[in-house]
Structure 1
Amino acid sequence: MLQVENLDVHYGAIQALHTVSLEVRQGEIVSLIGANGAGKSTFLKVLSGIHSASAGVVTFEGQQTTKWTPQQYVKKGIALVPEGRRIFKQMTVLENIELGAYLRRDHEQCKKDIETIYERFPILFERKHQNAATLSGGEQQMLAIGRALMSKPKLLLLDEPSMGLAPNYIRQVFELIQEINNDGTTILLIEQNAKMALSIADRGYVLEVGKVVLEGSGAALLNSEEVREAYLGG
């Protein structure tokens, strides 16, 4: 589904990613783990059209994405849940959800999909007319995921979904990720919580200082001595 080959990314004179190659197959959960500052969020910005690559090729369903606008990424079936959630706090929960469908024209189906979001996230239904600022961190993360799902993505990009959440919400979010995947959405998950990320991943990659240094099945990386020492506390 997604092929990334020899991706370089610069911020001015600083190179953030070095010849990164990665593959996401249809139906998979793929986790990209690494320490803060490894380049994980930069990678997702390129995959969602927010930042341009200096070199390399990204292909989605056989099409090169080089000249796509961010809107085209969404139209083609790629949705991003950004780091820090980035919901519109001054707007209601319902208004945030509706924004996820801003490129769609099938209005009647959108209404049905909103009901599906409410079924998946009952707390969002209860608070649909409240400003999003009144939600807890975990509830805001659910809202950010629900908003992304309204674009009907084939590939869902998740940037640090567990960041800043209480342990009970972290468990809920990862269970939700698995449910979304079971419903047919392919997922690329960027996470610092290596144990949780690899435990649900079909395959994983380890990013260090902008370079992929390890790759393998989620189970293999979870049991890797190198990964355990670096990211799992030994």
Structure 2
Amino acid sequence: MLNVDNIDVYYGAIHALKGVSLEVNEGEVVTLIGANGAGKSTLLKTLSGLLKPKSGSITFLGKPIAGENPTAIVSQGLVHCPEGRRVFANMTVEENLELGAYLRKDHAEIRKDMEAVFTRFPRLLERRKQLSGTLSGGEQQMLAIGRALMARPKLLLLDEPSMGLAPLLVAEIFRTVEEINKQGTTVLLVEQNANQALKVAHRAYVLETGKVVLTGPADELAQSDEIKMAYLGH
């Protein structure tokens, strides 16, 4: 579904991604783990068109998308749920969800999808008319995921969904990731919480200082001594 081949990305003079290659197949949850500053968020921003690679190629559903504008990329079904939630604070929950569907014209289906988000996250239903800036961190994360789902993603890029959340909410967010995947959405997950990420993912890539240093089935990586030492706190 997604093929990233040998991309190099710079932030000014900083070489943020160095020859990164990875693939995501339809139906998978693939996770990217790595320390802060390893280049995980940079990679997602490059996939969604917010950054342009200096070299290498990115193919989504057989079409090259490297350097395309973000709107065109969303319209093809590649949707980014950004780090730090980025909800529109001075708009209501409902208005945020409507914005998720801004490229769609199928109004009856949009209503149906909004009801599905409210079924998945009952707390958002209770707060549908509330300004999203007044929600708790966990509720904002649910809203950010709900808003991304309103675009009907074929591939959902999820950046640090558990960041700053209480353990109970973290478990809920990861359950949601599994459910979304079971219902047919492919997921590329960037996550500091390597323990949880490896539990929900099929495969994983480990990024260190802008390079892929390890890749394999998630359950195997979770057992690897190297990963345990570096990321799982064992």
Query: TM-score normalised to the size of structure 1?
Result: 0.99
Supply the AA of the counterpart residue of 1:118: F
Cα distance in 1 between the residues matched to 2:13 and 2:162: 31
Cα distance in 1 between the residues matched to 2:8 and 2:57: 9
Show structure 1 runs of 4+ deviating over 4 A: none
- Check the 8 A contact 2:53/2:67 in 1, yes or no: no
Residue matched to 1:45 = 45
- Check the 8 A contact 2:205/2:216 in 1, yes or no: yes
CA deviation digits over 1:6-44, x for unaligned, max 9?
010001221000000001000000000000000000000
CA deviation digits over 1:72-102, x for unaligned, max 9?
1110001111000000011100000000000
Confirm whether residue 112 of structure 1 aligns to residue 112 of structure 2: yes
Cα distance in 2 between the residues matched to 1:82 and 1:12: 21
What is the alpha-carbon root mean square deviation over aligned residues?
0.7
Larger displacement relative to structure 2 (81-90 or 60-69): 60-69
Query: TM-score normalised to the size of structure 2?
Result: 0.99
Equivalent residues in 2 for 1:27-106 (5 A)? 27-106=27-106
Supply the AA of the counterpart residue of 1:224: S
When the two structures are aligned, how many residues end up with a matched partner? 234
Change (3 A) 1:67 1:11: closer
- Listed as ranges, the gaps of 5+ residues in structure 1 are none
- Check the 8 A contact 2:80/2:148 in 1, yes or no: yes
- Listed as ranges, the gaps of 5+ residues in structure 2 are none
The percentage of counterpart residues that share the same residue type is: 59
Cα distance in 1 between the residues matched to 2:50 and 2:68: 10
CA deviation digits over 1:125-168, x for unaligned, max 9?
11000010121101100000000000000000000000000101
Give how far 1:67 is off.
4.4
Supply the AA of the counterpart residue of 1:70: P
Cα distance in 1 between the residues matched to 2:87 and 2:218: 30
Give how far 1:51 is off.
0.5
* Other structure's SS at 1:16 match: strand
Cα distance in 2 between the residues matched to 1:205 and 1:67: 23
Supply the AA of the counterpart residue of 2:139: E
Confirm whether residue 133 of structure 1 aligns to residue 128 of structure 2: no
Residue matched to 1:218 = 218
Cα distance in 2 between the residues matched to 1:14 and 1:127: 42
